[in-house]
A and B are shown apart, each in its own frame.
Chain A
Amino acid sequence: MTFFTIIVRGLWRRPVRTGLTLVGISIGIAAVVALVGISRGFEQSWAMGMKARGTDIVVSNMGSALAPKPFSSSVRDHIASIPGVAATCAIFVDLTSIEDSSMMVVSAREWGGFSWKNLKLLSGRMPNDSMESAVVLGQNAAEVLKKKIGDTVQIEAKELSVVGIVDGGALVENGSVILSLPLYQEISGNEGKINIIDIRATPGMTAEEVKSLCAKINTLIPEARAMPAGDNVGNSQAYRFISAMSWGTSLLAVIVGVLGVMNTMLMTVFERKQEICILLAIGWKRSRIIRMVLLESAMLGFLGGIGGVIIGTVGVKILETLPAIHGLLEPDLSARLMVISVAIAVIVGVLSGLYPAWRSSRLTPSLAMQG
C-alpha cells in the first residue's frame, strides 16, 4: 500500500459523491476548453486566412463589430504609394445571413487583386469580369449553402450565379462567398467603400520592418489601422470582447467547480473526523493529514480536468457539425489548451482543498478516544 492508495481509497469511499463532483468540475473545464478553444480558433482561422492570401499587413478599422468598419477606397491609393508596400488589394468583408445560413463570410475583392490568386478552382470557373453577377464559393461555403455550379445565391436583393467552387487554403477562405468588389459595393449600397486593405510588403522584409511599415501607414492614414497580418483580429475590440466573455464564462463555470470540490472535501473531512483523529493518534503528522486532503482534492481536480477536456473536445466537435456554424469554426483544441485546462483543474482542486485541509489540521488526536 502506498500513500497514493490512501488518496484513492479516500475518494472511492463515496463513489456517487465523488462522481458528481467530478461531473461538476468536468463541466467547468469543458466550458474552458470549448469557449476558449473556439475564440482562439476564430483568431487563428482569420490569421490562416490572411496567410493563405499572402498578406503581410492588414489595414482595417476593427471597432466593436465582428466585421471591420467601412472607409473610403481612396485610402488604398495613398497606401500603395508608400515605400515598402509591394502590392495592395482592397476588400469588403461582411458577416451576413445568406438564405438558410445564419452567418456567412462575404469577401468582395478588388478585381484583379492578389487576394484572388490563392484561390484554387476545384470546379467551374472564376467570374469573367468585375460586374458579372457571379460568385465563387469556398468549398465549405458550398457545402453549408448546399450549392453547386449553376445554382444561384441571393445576396441582399440580388440573385448571383455560382460559377466556381474554390479551395482557399484556410477555413475562413473556404467558408467564404467570394465575389468582385465593385459588384458587392453596388449590391450592398457601399459604393466607394471598402473595409480591409491587404498589403504585401516588399519581399525580404523582417518582422520588425513590417511593424515599422505599419507604424508609418498609421501616421499617414488616420481612417484605419495597419497591423501585421494575424494581429489585427486579436487586437480588435470585438475579438477582445469575445475572448473576455469566453474566459469570464469559463471562470464562472470553474468557480462552480471550486465550490463543488470544496463542499465535497469539507464533507469528507467532517465525515472522516474520527478517522483523521485516529490517524493522528497512531502517529501521523498534521502535515501528512493536510497532504492527504490536498492530494485528494488535487486528484479530484485532475480527474475532473481530464473529464472536462474529453467533454469539451467532444462538445466542440458536435458544435462544428451544427448547420448554423458548420465550416465557420476551426477551434484551437491544441495540446497546449488541454494541458492548461487540466492544470487549471488541478489548481482549482488544490485551492478548494486548502480550507478543508486547514480544518482537518485543527482536529486533535484525543478525539479518537471518544466513541
Chain B
Amino acid sequence: MMRSTPTSDSFSKDCIFEVKGLKKEYDDGKVQALRGVDFRIHQGEFVAITGPSGCGKTTLLQMLGALDFPSSGNLLYRGNSLPGLPDPAAYRAREIGIIFQAFHLLPTFTAKENVQLPMFETDRPRPDRQSRAIELLKLVGLEHRLDHFPAKLSGGERQRVAIARSLANGPSVLLADEPTGNLDSENAHHILDLIIRLSTEQNMTLVLITHDPSIARRASRTIEMMDGHIVSDQQAAPI
C-alpha cells in the first residue's frame, strides 16, 4: 500500500515534524550520533528511515518521540519545540505511539492490561480503558488472547499487542523501531501490513526504522542515514 505524497500547499499546514540542524552528542561530544539533520515530515506520511547500524536512526526516533532531547538544533512538532515542551510525558502519552523491536510488553500484565497501561495518563475512566483495550485487541485480531500473559503469546501476537498498546490514546504519530526485526518472514509481513493498514485508516503519520529494503520500499518516503547525516531523502514513485 502506497500513500500519496503531500502537495506543496499542504506542506506547511500539515507539517508534523520540522527538524533543522539537529545534533545529538554523547560523552561531552566524543560520540556524535546526529551531526546536523534537516527534514520535514507531514501529516499522514509513511517515512522509512534506513541505514547501517550506528548511523543514528534510533537516536533520531528517540528525538521525535521526546524520549531524549537534542544537543542542538531545532526540533518542532506541529510548530512547537519538543525540547521546550513543559510536559514531554503528556506528548508521549497523547501524540505518539511507539512500537519497539523487542515488543517490550510488561510480563506481569495480560494482553488486555498491557494495552491499558498508556491510558493511565489520560482522564479515561476504568470501564472505558478496558473496553478500549478490548476494541484495540480485536482490531489487531487478538480477541481470543485478551487475558493471556505475554509469555503465553507467540512473537507475532506479542507485537500485535504492542501495536494495540501504541494506539491506546489515539496518537497522531506512530514511531516504529524495526517492528518486524524479531519476527519470522511470514509474521513480519502480517505485522507490517497491520501497521500500515491501521496508520492509513486512522490517518496517522508513520515513521519506521528498518534495515529491510523490501519494507522501506513500501514507504511513501525513505530517508537514508549514514554516520549521523541524512544521505538521501526520496519520495516513492506513486503507483
The interface of chain A, by Cβ under 8 A from chain B, is 1-3, 5-6, 9-10, 12-13, 274-275, 278-286, 288, 364-366, 368-369, 371
B2 cross-chain contacts in A, Cβ below 8 A: none
A279 cross-chain contacts in B, Cβ below 8 A: 106, 117
Q: A282-B118, A283-B90, A285-B89 are in contact. Are A364 and B68 (CB under 8 A)?
A: yes
* A27 CA / B78 CA spacing, docked (Å): 57
Distance to closest chain B CB from A8 (angstroms): 10
Cβ-defined contact, B109 with A283, below 8 A: no
- Residue B226 lies at the interface, judged by CB distance under 8 Å to chain A: no
* A3 CA / B126 CA spacing, docked (Å): 10
Cβ-defined contact, A5 with B104, below 8 A: no
Tell me the B40-94 residues at the A interface (CB within 8 Å).
Answer: 58, 61-62, 65, 67-68, 87, 89-90, 92-94
A285 cross-chain contacts in B, Cβ below 8 A: 87, 89-90, 121
B169 cross-chain contacts in A, Cβ below 8 A: 283
Contact with B68, one of A1, A13, A274, A366 (Cβ below 8 angstroms): A366
- 19 interchain pairs, CB-CB under 8 A: A1-B113, A10-B108, A12-B108, A13-B108, A274-B104, A279-B106, A280-B67, A281-B92, A281-B98, A283-B118, A284-B93, A284-B120, A285-B87, A286-B89, A288-B120, A365-B68, A366-B67, A369-B67, A369-B100
Cβ-defined contact, B120 with A9, below 8 A: no
B102 cross-chain contacts in A, Cβ below 8 A: 371
* Minimum CB distance partner of A278 in chain B: B104
* Minimum CB distance partner of A283 in chain B: B93
- Residue B220 lies at the interface, judged by CB distance under 8 Å to chain A: no
Cβ-defined contact, A366 with B62, below 8 A: yes
- Residue B129 lies at the interface, judged by CB distance under 8 Å to chain A: yes
A366 cross-chain contacts in B, Cβ below 8 A: 62, 67-68
Cβ-defined contact, A368 with B67, below 8 A: yes
Distance to closest chain A CB from B134 (angstroms): 12
Q: A1-B129, A3-B120, A288-B120 are in contact. Are A278 and B106 (CB under 8 A)?
A: yes
B18 cross-chain contacts in A, Cβ below 8 A: none
Known A2-B126, A285-B89, A365-B65; 19 more pairs at CB < 8 Å: A1-B112, A1-B126, A1-B129, A6-B109, A12-B108, A279-B106, A279-B117, A281-B65, A282-B92, A283-B92, A283-B121, A285-B87, A286-B89, A365-B67, A365-B68, A365-B92, A368-B67, A369-B62, A369-B67
- Residue B180 lies at the interface, judged by CB distance under 8 Å to chain A: no
- In the A-B complex, the 8 residue pairs with the closest CB atoms: A283-B93, A366-B68, A366-B67, A285-B89, A283-B92, A365-B67, A9-B108, A282-B118
A364 cross-chain contacts in B, Cβ below 8 A: 67-68
Cβ-defined contact, B117 with A282, below 8 A: yes
Cβ-defined contact, B104 with A368, below 8 A: yes
Cβ-defined contact, B67 with A284, below 8 A: no
B172 cross-chain contacts in A, Cβ below 8 A: none
Q: Which of B109, B120, B165 has the most CB of A within 10 A?
A: B120
B92 cross-chain contacts in A, Cβ below 8 A: 280-283, 365
* Minimum CB distance partner of B126 in chain A: A2
A371 cross-chain contacts in B, Cβ below 8 A: 102
A274 cross-chain contacts in B, Cβ below 8 A: 104
* A1 CA / B118 CA spacing, docked (Å): 12
- Residue B32 lies at the interface, judged by CB distance under 8 Å to chain A: no
* A364 CA / B93 CA spacing, docked (Å): 15
Distance to closest chain B CB from A7 (angstroms): 11
Taken residue by residue from 163 to 176, chain B's Cβ proximity to chain A (1 for < 8 Å, 0 otherwise) reads as 00110110000000
* A9 CA / B87 CA spacing, docked (Å): 28
A3 cross-chain contacts in B, Cβ below 8 A: 120
